[in-house]
């Protein structure tokens, strides 16, 4: 081959250089067009400036599709919009432009910046998208950083996204997951699968850990939303739900509030008494506060259920103030103890102290054990009142506001009734009425009604250890058609068929008795249930009975009313006996009983 003339050789070299420079300009223009698409289309176009591109000198072959060390910068409305740097810009893959050693920095309206770095990259001008791959690193000026394998940037939607596994961190926040959507302008981050999250507090050492199927973090509003089988825990507190929204403190990034929806279950750490608690509901709202950012208040609604130790509750709404050890139950609340059921319009429960206050149409039922004081242990004991104060630890309950308790045929009502199981006492005050019923064995009348003994007084103390019921102040007893009044009565109690029954009564102070049309007075009186007799006593022989139907009267040391046979037997000071048969008298006299003249 003949030697190329120097002039022709020089001309060919200049053509190559010109072509190379022209291709570089065209390539740079295409890259600038893609970079200019950063942001939404409806926004103003970005002004582009191109830094000088160094050109290697010397003959290095006919490489015309590669440049090195370049920078593209853009601005929007006078503020920086983006900066694109690459170590190498290679040629074309179809319509896409390939890059190596890529660094893309995006600026938002507030001056914050996000830098994306990758080993390799591609720009697609037609789709207005960029793809980076190979050890992707994302860093934001507010502290957010992210690592993944492949990342896409869509300039139309202003979003960064990937389907690969990611690991991310932010101030007081770090985690991992699969997939990512990050809205640059709105500063919202979404991870659609396999979310693992950890939030650390500056105030306390224990972090908040969370797992979920989906996460949306709004960095502007300082909120994190988790969905699809969510589990959050810190220390002994655990929350499980289908949907959870966490609000962080804008400055410290500590957890401030938690909202949970859908089959919520919250396991609460043990309180001062060492007993943990549990809350179940349809929705739950928790607030954190104090120097240590501990859980202070929880509000739950929809099928609420709370459990702590051997106490459980049900209600439509519940508010737990953990620092005050107060659980407020509203909406048909019911509390269950080991042997008790308590229902009311409102119930305030102190789980750690094991006390409660119930208000409005209070109804309770107790079963098993030795029974409530004053009642037998054979069957359930029920109470009704306007207000209840109960101390499960002290085994004491106070019913007030028209209180009433009953067990089968026995009942007690008063303005206030106090049950002290530790002392085995019942105390009732103001307008006390006690009813004791007993079954009557009558072969001729299989369905005979029970005999009822009613005692009323101003105050009552039932002492189970002594087997006594002490009635004080304006005491009155009625049985059949007989009555007895006195200033005080002491009743001896016994257990009959699992119920309390009165076996004996002693009355003193201004004693007065009546049966039918007969009236009697004495200093003392005694009632015996088995004999069904009422005895008026006066050691000085001043006990007196007057029969209003006949006008007869008698005095003596002891006057006995036979309530079943409607007779009165008088015992005089000299030891004599006198009978009075109360009218009407349709029966035959007993043997040895004198006829009563009519």
- Residue 400: its pLDDT value, please? 96
What is the rounded CA–CA span in Å between residue 151 and residue 141?
19
CATH assignment of 192-338? Answer: 2.60.450.10
Q: How far is CA 386 from the centre of its chain?
A: 24
Is the domain defined by 1-54+65-155 classed in CATH 2.60.450?
yes
Q: For 28-77, give the DSSP string.
A: HHHHHHHHHT-S-TTSPPPEEEE-------S---S--S-EEEEEEEEEET
pLDDT tens for each residue of 162-191: 999 999 887 777 889 999 998 877 878 899
Classified as helix, coil or strand, 369 is coil
User: Contact, 439 vs 464, CB < 8 A?
Assistant: no
Return the HEC string of 13-31: HHHHHHHHHHHHHHHHHHH
- Residue 19: its pLDDT value, please? 38
Cβ neighbours of 355 (radius 10 Å): 17
User: Contact, 469 vs 493, CB < 8 A?
Assistant: yes
pTM, full prediction: 0.72
Range(s) within the chain of domains with CATH label 2.60.450.10: 192-338
- Residue 562: its pLDDT value, please? 83
- Residue 165: its pLDDT value, please? 94
What is the rounded CA–CA span in Å between residue 162 and residue 166?
9
- Residue 80: its pLDDT value, please? 77
* Spans of the chain, pLDDT less than 70: 1-74, 76, 81-82, 84, 89-97, 123, 125-128, 201-205, 250-253, 271-274, 291-293, 369, 440-448, 571-598
Buried b (16+ CB within 10 A) or exposed e, 168-191: bebebbbbbbbbbbbbbeebbbbb
- Residue 342: its pLDDT value, please? 94
């Amino acid at each position: 081959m003949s030697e190329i003339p120097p002039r022709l050789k020089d001309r060919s070299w200049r053509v190559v250089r010109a072509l190379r420079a022209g291709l570089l300009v065209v390539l740079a223009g295409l890259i600038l067009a893609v970079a200019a698409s950063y942001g939404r289309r409806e926004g103003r176009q970005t002004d582009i400036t191109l830094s000088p591109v160094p050109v290697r000198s010397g003959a290095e072959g006919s490489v015309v599709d590669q440049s090195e060390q370049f920078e593209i910068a853009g601005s929007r409305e006078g503020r920086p919009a983006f900066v694109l740097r690459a170590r190498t810009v290679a040629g074309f893959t179809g319509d896409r432009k390939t890059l190596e050693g890529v660094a893309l920095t995006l600026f938002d309206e507030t001056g914050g910046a996000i830098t994306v770095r990758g080993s390799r990259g591609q720009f697609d001008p037609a789709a207005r998208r960029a793809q980076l791959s190979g050890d992707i690193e994302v860093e934001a000026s507010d502290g957010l950083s992210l690592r993944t394998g492949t990342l896409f940037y869509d300039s139309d939607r202003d979003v960064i996204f990937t389907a690969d596994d990611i690991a991310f961190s932010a101030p007081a926040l770090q985690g991992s997951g699969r997939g990512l959507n990050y809205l640059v302008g709105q500063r919202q981050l979404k991870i659609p699968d396999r979310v693992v999250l950890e939030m650390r507090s500056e105030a306390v050492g224990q972090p908040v850990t969370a797992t979920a199927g989906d996460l949306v973090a709004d960095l502007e509003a300082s909120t994190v939303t988790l969905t699809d089988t969510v589990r959050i825990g810190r220390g002994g507190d655990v929350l499980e739900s289908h949907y959870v929204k966490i609000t962080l403190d804008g400055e410290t990034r500590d957890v401030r509030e938690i909202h949970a929806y859908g089959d919520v279950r919250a396991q609460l750490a043990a309180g001062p008494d060492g007993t943990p608690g549990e809350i179940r509901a349809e929705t739950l709202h928790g607030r954190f506060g104090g120097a240590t950012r501990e859980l202070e208040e929880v509000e739950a609604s929809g099928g609420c259920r709370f459990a702590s130790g051997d106490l459980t509750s049900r209600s439509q709404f519940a508010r737990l103030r953990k620092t005050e050890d107060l659980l407020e139950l509203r909406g048909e609340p019911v509390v269950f103890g080991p042997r008790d059921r308590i229902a009311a319009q409102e119930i305030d429960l102190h789980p750690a102290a094991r006390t409660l206050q119930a208000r409005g149409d209070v109804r309770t039922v107790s079963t098993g054990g030795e029974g409530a004081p004053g009642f037998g242990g054979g069957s359930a004991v029920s109470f009704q009142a306007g207000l209840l104060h109960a101390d499960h630890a002290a085994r004491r309950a106070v019913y007030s506001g028209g209180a009433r308790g009953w067990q089968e045929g026995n009942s007690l009502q008063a303005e206030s009734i106090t049950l002290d199981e530790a002392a085995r006492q019942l105390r009732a005050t103001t307008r006390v009425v006690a009813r004791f019923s007993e079954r009557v064995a009558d072969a001729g009348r299989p369905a005979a009604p029970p005999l009822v003994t009613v005692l009323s007084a101003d105050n009552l103390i039932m002492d189970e250890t002594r087997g006594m019921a002490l009635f004080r102040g304006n005491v009155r007893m009625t049985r059949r058609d007989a009555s007895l009044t006195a200033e005080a009565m002491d009743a001896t109690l016994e257990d009959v068929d699992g119920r309390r029954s009165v076996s004996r009564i002693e009355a003193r102070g201004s004693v007065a008795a009546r049966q039918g049309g007969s009236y009697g007075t004495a200093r003392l009186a005694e009632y015996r249930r088995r004999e069904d007799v009422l005895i008026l006593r006066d050691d000085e022989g001043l006990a007196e009975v007057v029969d209003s139907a006949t006008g007869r009267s008698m005095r003596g040391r002891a006057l006995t009313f036979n309530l079943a046979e409607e007779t009165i037997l008088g015992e005089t000071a000299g030891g004599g006996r006198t009978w009075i048969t109360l009218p009407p008298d349709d029966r035959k006299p007993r043997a040895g009983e004198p006829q009563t003249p009519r």
